[in-house]
Amino acid sequence: MGDVRLRGQTGVPAERRGSYPFIDFRLLNNTTHSGEIGTKKKVKRLLSFQRYFHASRLLRGIIPQAPLHLLDEDYLGQARHMLSKVGMWDFDIFLFDRLTNGNSLVTLLCHLFNTHGLIHHFKLDMVTLHRFLVMVQEDYHSQNPYHNAVHAADVTQAMNCFLKEPKLASFLTPLDIMLGLLAAAAHDVDHPGVNQPFLIKTNHHLASLYQNMSVLENHHWRSTIGMLRESRLLAHLPKEMTQDMEQQLGSLILATDINRQNEFLTRLKAHLHNEDLRLEDVQDRHFMLQIALKCADICNPCRIWEMSKQWSERVCEEFYRQGDLEQKFELEISPLCNQQKDSIPSIQIGFMTYIVEPLFREWARFTGNSALSENMLSHLSHNKAQWKSLLPTQHRSSGGGSGGPDHAGQGTENSEQTGTKGDAP
């Protein structure tokens, strides 16, 4: 188990469950000046223990099952009622997570796979599907304020709403829908609660493995492939089909890298300007799935204020925790991670202005200003005004914000406040 990668028949590297250990900051102690996190032997020992711990649970069959059957009937009834309105934009994922006893992601995906007819179409085994979804949910870190399974469920619910947009829905195949939902559910799996620059400057093994390029996104993708293979959810499908699905999942998850925001926005603007999107074409359809996932990943500012505010506080708490660690170990504090200098209102205004608004205005153009798009832009405008009213007095005259596009981009990437991989509600 010395290698964090598995190579299956498709040749696409996958990672074992649990290959991304919790960041053990004791390894940083007394090594920050040398630029190394302990010795390679220490790191290898830590990784081996983490992998052994997860593997031993699997070998003993101790895979946590969603305890829905243990819930009070009243809670079950409320959860079922909420699922009947899962396509509504005001869906309260926090309440749903409480009603399902912390199993919002598993419960939501099982429901959506059923209602979209994916279980029947792909002849999926329900027990195997449930096992796979539990694996995904369990591999999110519940101690993360933001990048946890509830965020994944929220992104999945948003993705489901976007897949139903009339301009897109009529062209989607069952494969498109399943890939979109799976990518949304797993797009941040095993997220450590710190951003890519942190992993790079602390010489984390994943930064080396992926050569400092889309480090987190590559890890989320390869981890997802590992779980798909381990669960054998798709083992009954033709080899060529599963190869294609793994590659498309990677393309979708990698698109959430905030550092590629301008790349995708520029392409979308060009397509809309030239009116050359042909959704009958698989490549154009896949591109719009990438855009939909990017929107779902950073849609928190477009939710109703009560939910949007809670997401904003969560993502900033995660930023501040990283900043505290950086300060503790005498590392340069990353943009937006200094609680003494970076206020939640200023972070959110910058995020909305430079990341969210440009993308969602183009999405609205694509949908033909659908009712949902108009609703989201209305919430976005209202929420931005709310944050402006909460700005410290000295910042209001200058308009607040986080210092311009470059600074906003860095911050976004931070906790993926950019799109959750950077995601900033």
Where in the sequence numbering do the catalytic residues fall? 147
* Residue 171 Cα distances to 116, 187, 240, 316, 370, angstroms: 14, 23, 23, 38, 17
Return the bridge partners of 418, or none. Answer: 423
Determine whether the annotation assigns residue 9 to a binding site: no
Helix H or strand E encompassing 136: helix 126-138
- E strands in 290-405: none
DSSP state of 418: B
3-class SS of residue 173: coil
DSSP state of 195: -
Determine whether the annotation assigns residue 423 to a binding site: no
Determine whether the annotation assigns residue 106 to a binding site: no
Determine whether the annotation assigns residue 203 to a binding site: no
Determine whether the annotation assigns residue 257 to a binding site: no
Return the bridge partners of 195, or none. Answer: none
Q: Determine how β-strand 13-15 pairs with β-strand 416-417.
A: unpaired
Residue (of 89, 240, 81) closest to 154 by Cα position: 89
CA quadruple 147, 148, 153, 154: dihedral, nearest 10: -40
CA quadruple 348, 352, 356, 357: dihedral, nearest 10: 170
Instruction: Report yes or no: 37 and 204 within 8 Å, Cβ to Cβ.
Output: yes
Q: How far apart are CA 236 and CA 374, in angstroms?
A: 42
Query: Where does residue 18 rank: exposed (0-12), middle (13-18), buried (19+ CB within 10 A)?
Result: buried
Instruction: Report yes or no: 332 and 322 within 8 Å, Cβ to Cβ.
Output: no
Return the bridge partners of 60, or none. Answer: none
Determine whether the annotation assigns residue 150 to a binding site: yes
Name the amino acid, one letter, at 10. Answer: T
Q: How far apart are CA 188 and CA 192, in angstroms?
A: 9
Determine whether the annotation assigns residue 338 to a binding site: no
| Residue 33 CB neighbour total at 10 angstroms | 7
Q: How many CA atoms lie within 13 A of 337 on its CB side?
A: 28
Q: Which residues are annotated as a binding site for AMP?
A: 147-151, 188, 297, 348
Summarize the annotated binding site as residue ranges: 147-151, 187-188, 297, 348
